[in-house]
Amino acid sequence: MRLQDTAALSLRGVFQTPLRAALTVLGLAIGIGAIVAVMAIGQAGQAEVESQLSRIGVGRAWIRPAQGEDRALASEDAQLVRAAARAQDAAVSAVAYRAAPLRYRDAQAHALLVGCEPDLAVIEGLRVAAGRFLRADDGRDLRAVAVLEDRMAARLFGTVDPLGKQVDLDGRRLKVVGVAGTGRGGEVSVAKPVQEERVWVPLSTFQSLYGARVDEIALSVFASADPEQAGAAGAGALAARYGGQYQATTYRAEMQAARSILRIFLLVMSCVAVICMAVGGIGVMNIMLVSVRERRYEIGMLKALGATPIVICIQFLLEALVYALLGGALGLLSGALLSAGAAQTIRIAIPVTRGTALAALSFACGIGVFFGVYPALRAARMQPVDALRAEHEG
């Protein structure tokens, strides 16, 4: 018996009962669709979580006096922390914060004024959209310059180029030398989360307006350096010189917790998807067993005409594979639709990648063949005389 004849018989066996075939395919498609959606959402969620974690402070630490300590930080403490961190590529900046109104002509906005040193651009991962960021000579010469966050620039200037314009800050005129936006830095610090648009000014200029205070020392380390160790070393150096207690804060614990929660969520969703898939596979097995029972006469005739048990087994395995492929294709479509709906709901891109599609189809075929083996073996082991007799008695 030729393979094409066996394949033709398999296709006829699937489509001779269209409603039953459709329900079987639908049951399998639900499981495949669930798996596709879980894989796509999981991959997109993992990428989004890693992106958000990188924004809130991978490789960063913030050093502040411990709660209850009276001594404030000073500008020169940044150099002490830099030396204590022992990282060649460490970026360190003393930082001070203050909420202040900013005005340009008739436009006014509430800003988070950030007095800082040039390294803060590296620490927060700022990208300069126009002009430049603060330089060391701005601080040395006490220049009245400012860098606006892109949202603040749009609020005050609209479509007008802000570079070179003068803005009013508590009665002092500042020249806009740059516009910057957030690259990987979403949180300014543990103490001052971003709520308002920021305006960066040299720390010396900030201190000339509001006093020589520093709220925290921000540092960022790269490569293989550990931000917790660098922060602890900096806090220890401050404590050794001035006495008292200093604390270094990082987001490592929060990052690990977020990753753990994501892994648990994906595990639960994957278990649900596998259960759906198993239910669909059991449905394929059930239909195949019913098909074997209903087609005993056909099996007996094929064997009487010379079909070997292997041919009969292949025929029914092909039927199971057809169910699996149809269910996989429909499940892939439904999974893509579910992913698109989820993307619209949570507002992140959730693409169904080629790897996800191939994995889902391969899994569907594996499930179909696995649950089709027993019915195929049962059909292959059926004796021609018993099959014909059972058909005649039935």
* Rounded-to-integer distance, Cα 179 and Cα 173, Å: 17
pLDDT by residue, tens only, the chain of 394 residues? 565 666 676 677 677 778 888 888 888 888 888 888 888 888 887 777 767 666 555 678 899 998 877 778 988 999 899 888 775 567 899 999 999 999 998 889 889 999 999 999 988 888 999 999 999 999 999 999 999 999 899 989 988 899 999 999 988 999 999 999 865 444 455 445 445 789 999 999 999 989 888 999 999 887 556 788 888 888 999 999 888 889 888 877 667 777 788 788 888 877 887 887 788 888 888 888 888 887 777 777 777 777 788 888 888 888 888 888 888 889 899 888 988 888 888 788 888 888 888 888 888 888 888 888 888 888 888 777 766 665 555 5
Amino acid at 371: F
Q: Please choose, from the candidates 195, 222, 215, 219, the residue with its C-alpha nearest in 3D space to the C-alpha of residue 120.
A: 219
Q: What is the token pair recorded at 280?
A: 């669909």
The answer to whether residues 191 and 60 touch, using CB atoms and an 8 Å cutoff, is no
- What is the Rg, in whole angstroms, of the alpha carbon atoms belonging to the chain? 34
What residues does each domain of the chain span? Answer: 3-53+256-393, 60-250
Long-range contacts from 315-318, C-beta under 8 angstroms, 24+ separation: 315/6, 315/9, 315/10, 315/13, 315/376, 315/379, 316/10, 316/13, 316/288, 316/291, 316/292, 316/372, 316/375, 316/376, 316/379, 316/380, 317/369, 317/372, 317/373, 317/376, 318/6, 318/7, 318/10
DSSP 9-49: HHHHHHHTSHHHHHHHHHHHHHHHHHHHHHHHHHHHHHHHH
CA atoms within 13 A on the CB side of 328: 20
State the DSSP H helix or E strand holding residue 103, giving kind and residue range, or none if neither: strand 91-104
Q: What is the token pair recorded at 316?
A: 């029914």
Q: Please choose, from the candidates 289, 388, 248, the residue with its C-alpha nearest in 3D space to the C-alpha of residue 281.
A: 289
* Rounded-to-integer distance, Cα 116 and Cα 75, Å: 9
Amino acid at 184: R
The SS3 of residue 1 is: coil
The answer to whether residues 227 and 63 touch, using CB atoms and an 8 Å cutoff, is no
The answer to whether residues 316 and 376 touch, using CB atoms and an 8 Å cutoff, is yes
